[in-house]
């Protein structure tokens, strides 16, 4: 099928490359001249596994790039809108990019075309897009508007697209629904998974065909917002539980194992840390909250989810202070700047907001991220911050090492080596990447999220912890004078998406 995609960002580029991989002829459009030049010149502007290989495989063949929206739309049976929907000042989604594209599409339509909204948008957007296209002079029989929300996660975007939990197509006409069914057929009939050149996530296993859920356009629009809200709620829930664990001295890992092993709950996204970030959850939650209010419902649950999340970086900063006392003049190693591991995206990254706070308080930072340093530098600049080439370099001569993003590479660092490089043996881990006992055995003071602190001068667990285990009573946080500083509510933050 001939497809054009307007917007070649994370979603448009990945969708374009994957649809070409499924056998369609795809034209990718973007009005950013820098991005267009990079893509046309053979670059892959984002850090995503499999994406460079897919671009190299299909570029110039079934995948082309253009700045001419009119020509691309005229030759297409389906046009996907994948432009940004950033937050407006009032928390609603800014739909002006979608509107601009809808107007441009209206002027280009010549044959029946399905206009597919892939951007994350509030309910009624498909109706608005339809109205705009009609107002701009396209005849009603020339097009349908459908909704096909995207659930890919940055870091695993290509395999998420090709091996989705579900594909949601919201269409109010059979013709539009059939077009979308046809586009995704290689995934829903499993033929893609039988191809010898298919990208595999689990070599050796034969994946099941993808599930397709056909709904009205309104339901599809709501599914996307409600899904993100639910996932964010799981993250804030476990972060709140982690905060209670910190207060009573319980280990959140034990608690979440107990909760997550209930099949009705599940363990995924029950991961405490620094809170969710990125370009989706924060804006989608506030947009969903705004849209619910517009429809007459105060979605207070979402307010609390957002409040817990917004508190998380502050909680972590309090915890850092509890081991470093004053921050001014401290030299801190930072591992991680991206909003989560596996991506170079720093939008709404909790790591960035923590580094900004530390810089404001007069710290000097030596930071390392495997992929996000270029983008982070655009936000943080160079004042009092150096960007180093490895996790160990970040630790060298630092007063403490902070772990702010859950890259696998960080979890593989050797604690003994970290101990040797640090000026003081202190690690503050906002992502719970290390085992507390391993850190203790390596002589490190180690604070994490929702787990009892490890103090390098205490070889054995604190008396109060042993006492709590014996008597089954909540333990006091510490019997040591030095640890009084730890009495503040500890961190409890985090999330993966």
Among all chains, which residue has been given the structure tokens 């043996």?
425
82 lies in the site for ligand NAD, by CB under 6 A: yes
Catalytic one of 18, 245, 280, 436: 280
82 touches 119 (CB < 8 A): yes
Nearer to ligand NAD, 104 or 462 (CB): 104
Would you mind telling me the total number of residues written for the chain in this entry?
497
Residue 222 burial (CB count, 10 A) = 19
Closest-by-Cβ residue to ligand NAD is: 9
Stretch that binds ligand NAD, among 6-14, 206-214, 297-305, 437-445 (CB under 6 A): 6-14
Instruction: Determine the size of the site formed for ligand NAD (CB under 6 A).
Output: 26
Nearer to ligand NAD, 375 or 465 (CB): 375
Nearer to ligand NAD, 73 or 337 (CB): 73
444 touches 428 (CB < 8 A): no
10 lies in the site for ligand NAD, by CB under 6 A: yes
Kindly tell me which residue out of 1, 32, 244, 324 binds ligand NAD, with binding defined by CB under 6 A.
Answer: 32
385-387: strand order across its sheet: 385-387, 364-368, 331-335, 400-403, 426-429, 445-447
Site map for ligand NAD, 269-308, x if CB under 6 A?
A: ----------xx----------------------------
Kindly tell me which residue out of 17, 19, 29, 114 binds ligand NAD, with binding defined by CB under 6 A.
Answer: 29
Residues 87-116 that bind ligand NAD (CB under 6 A): 97, 100-101
- Write the DSSP assignment of 339-380 as a string of letters: SSTT----TT-HHHHHHHHHHHTT-EEEEE-SS-HHHHHHHH
2-6: strand order across its sheet: 63-66, 25-29, 2-6, 78-81, 113-117, 143-147, 167-170, 212-215
Q: Decide if 295 is catalytic.
A: no
Beta carbon of residue 367, minimum distance to ligand NAD (angstroms, whole number): 23
Structure tokens at 373: 């340093």
11 lies in the site for ligand NAD, by CB under 6 A: yes
- For 140-243, list the strands marked E by DSSP: 143-147, 167-170, 212-215
Beta carbon of residue 31, minimum distance to ligand NAD (angstroms, whole number): 4
Inter-CA distances, 473 with 214, 246, 249, 279, 453, Å: 52, 15, 11, 43, 18
Beta carbon of residue 186, minimum distance to ligand NAD (angstroms, whole number): 21
83 lies in the site for ligand NAD, by CB under 6 A: yes
Structure tokens at 206: 């034969």
Beta carbon of residue 100, minimum distance to ligand NAD (angstroms, whole number): 5
Beta carbon of residue 84, minimum distance to ligand NAD (angstroms, whole number): 4
- Write the DSSP assignment of 387-407 as a string of letters: E-SSHHHHHTT-SEEEE-S--
Residues that bind ligand NAD (CB under 6 A): 6-12, 29-32, 35, 82-85, 97, 100-101, 119-120, 150, 152, 154, 279-280
Catalytic residues: 280
């Amino acid at each position: 099928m001939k497809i054009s995609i307007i917007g070649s960002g994370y979603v448009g580029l990945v969708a374009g490359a994957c649809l070409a991989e499924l056998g369609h002829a795809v034209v990718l459009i973007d009005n950013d001249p820098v991005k267009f030049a990079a893509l046309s010149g053979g670059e892959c502007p984002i850090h995503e596994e499999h994406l460079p290989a897919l671009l190299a495989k299909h570029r110039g063949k079934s995948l082309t790039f253009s700045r001419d929206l009119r020509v691309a739309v005229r030759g297409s049976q389906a046009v996907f809108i994948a432009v940004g929907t950033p937050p407006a000042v009032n928390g609603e989604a800014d739909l002006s990019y979608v509107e601009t594209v809808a107007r441009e599409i209206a002027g280009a339509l010549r044959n029946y075309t399905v206009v597919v909204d892939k951007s994350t948008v509030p309910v009624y957007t498909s109706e608005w897009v339809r109205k705009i296209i009609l107002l701009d002079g396209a005849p009603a029989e020339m097009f349908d508007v459908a909704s096909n929300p995207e659930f890919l996660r940055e870091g695993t975007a290509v395999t998420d697209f090709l091996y989705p939990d579900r594909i949601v197509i919201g269409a109010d006409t059979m013709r539009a629904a059939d077009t979308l069914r046809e586009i995704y057929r290689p995934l829903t009939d499993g033929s893609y998974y039988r191809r010898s050149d298919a990208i595999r996530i689990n070599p050796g296993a034969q994946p099941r065909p993808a599930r397709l859920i056909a709904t009205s356009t309104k339901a599809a629009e709501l599914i996307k917002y409600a899904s993100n809200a639910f996932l964010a709620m799981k993250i804030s829930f476990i972060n709140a539980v982690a905060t209670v664990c910190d207060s009573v001295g319980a280990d959140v890992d034990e608690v979440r194992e107990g909760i997550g092993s209930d099949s009705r709950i599940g363990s995924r996204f029950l991961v405490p840390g620094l809170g969710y970030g990125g370009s989706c959850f924060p804006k989608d939650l506030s947009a969903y909250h705004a849209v619910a209010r517009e429809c007459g419902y105060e979605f207070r649950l979402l307010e609390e989810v957002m409040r817990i999340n917004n508190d998380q970086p502050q909680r972590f900063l309090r915890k850092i202070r509890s081991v470093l006392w004053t921050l001014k003049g401290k030299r801190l190693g930072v591992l991680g700047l991206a909003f989560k591991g596996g991506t170079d995206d720093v939008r709404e990254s909790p790591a960035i907001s923590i580094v900004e706070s530390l810089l404001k308080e007069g710290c000097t930072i030596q930071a390392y991220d495997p992929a996000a340093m270029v983008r982070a530098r655009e936000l943080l600049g160079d004042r009092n911050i150096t960007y180093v080439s490895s996790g160990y370099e970040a630790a060298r001569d630092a007063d403490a090492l902070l772990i702010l993003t859950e890259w696998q590479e960080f979890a593989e660092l050797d604690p003994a080596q970290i101990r040797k490089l640090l000026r003081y043996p202190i690690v503050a881990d906002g992502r719970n990447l290390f085992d507390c006992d391993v850190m203790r055995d390596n002589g490190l003071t180690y604070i994490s999220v929702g787990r009892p602190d490890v103090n390098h001068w205490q070889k054995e667990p604190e008396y109060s912890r042993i006492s709590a285990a014996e008597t089954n009573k909540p333990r006091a946080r510490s019997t040591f004078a030095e640890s009084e500083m730890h009495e503040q509510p500890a961190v409890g933050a985090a999330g993966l998406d």
